[in-house]
Amino acid sequence: STNHKDIGSLYLWNSFIMFLTGGAMPMVIRAELFQPGLQLVEPNFFNQMTTVHGLIMVFGALMPAFTGLANWLIPMMIGAPDMALPRMNNWSFCILPFAFTMLLSSLFMEGGGPNFGWTFYAPLSTTYSPDSTALFVFAIHIMGISSMMGAINVIVTIVNLRAPGMTWMKLPLFVWTWLITAFLLIAVMPVLAGAVTLVLTDQFFGTSFFDTAGGGDPVMFQHIFWFFGHPEV
């Protein structure tokens, strides 16, 4: 379907499933922390739960939920028949389940899933990380592409498809907030993509962007990451 309401509902259902999936992981974390010492899971698995929980909640539950609401409400609020780019709208949703399947499947790889906190700071995500980092990076790229396509769609819809007489100052606040959010997303998602690509090359291709021994700087990762992180949050 290219109907904005159908796609909005798909986003919301996807978010709900991811919310349950991501919500099962802190249950493991809290059960392990219920008493001092090791109870239920290995420390490495505990760390994997922390990382994947963070990523699934931010990129799988929260962002798609708001995108789903935007898909549902913005056309109705501005008097548009649909989103401006309905087929791209469809595609931006359809690649999401593959991204999360990939992210979750990294947990079953040899060496375990990503285990470096949800902020994946270097050198934890470069020097000390398992091979599944490659899958994690690819999943992040796909989620970013999806977010950016959704944002482009929102901007084009709000700018071009407002009903006659609906001036900028008559837009509902929800539409304004999404217009600003969409510009922020387009500004910061490529930065995250760059950061995780540098992580990938540091781990697998012998570069040292975040390795002081090779002239890099681990703190640079934090600067790049939070240039993305705060606007996203």
Where do we find the tokens 């995500």? Answer: 125
pTM, two decimals, is 0.93
Q: Which of 148, 150, 146, 154 is nearest to 175 (CA)?
A: 154
Give the tens place of pLDDT for each residue, 98-119.
999 999 999 999 989 999 999 9
In this structure, which topology does domain 4-230 adopt according to CATH? Cytochrome C Oxidase; Chain A (1.20.210)
Give the tens place of pLDDT for each residue, 15-46.
999 999 999 999 999 999 999 988 899 999 99
**pLDDT value, residue 233:** 80
- Quote the tokens at residue 80: 């548009």
Mean pLDDT of 141-167: 96
Q: Which of 94, 102, 9 is nearest to 55 (CA)?
A: 102
- Cβ-based neighbours of 76, under 8 Å, separated by 6 or more: none
Q: Which of 214, 198, 200, 174 is nearest to 78 (CA)?
A: 174
Q: Which of 118, 122, 114 is nearest to 213 (CA)?
A: 122
**pLDDT value, residue 39:** 87
Mean pLDDT of 65-80: 96
Return the SS3 of 161.
coil
Give the tens place of pLDDT for each residue, 184-233.
999 999 999 999 999 999 999 999 999 999 999 999 999 999 999 998 88
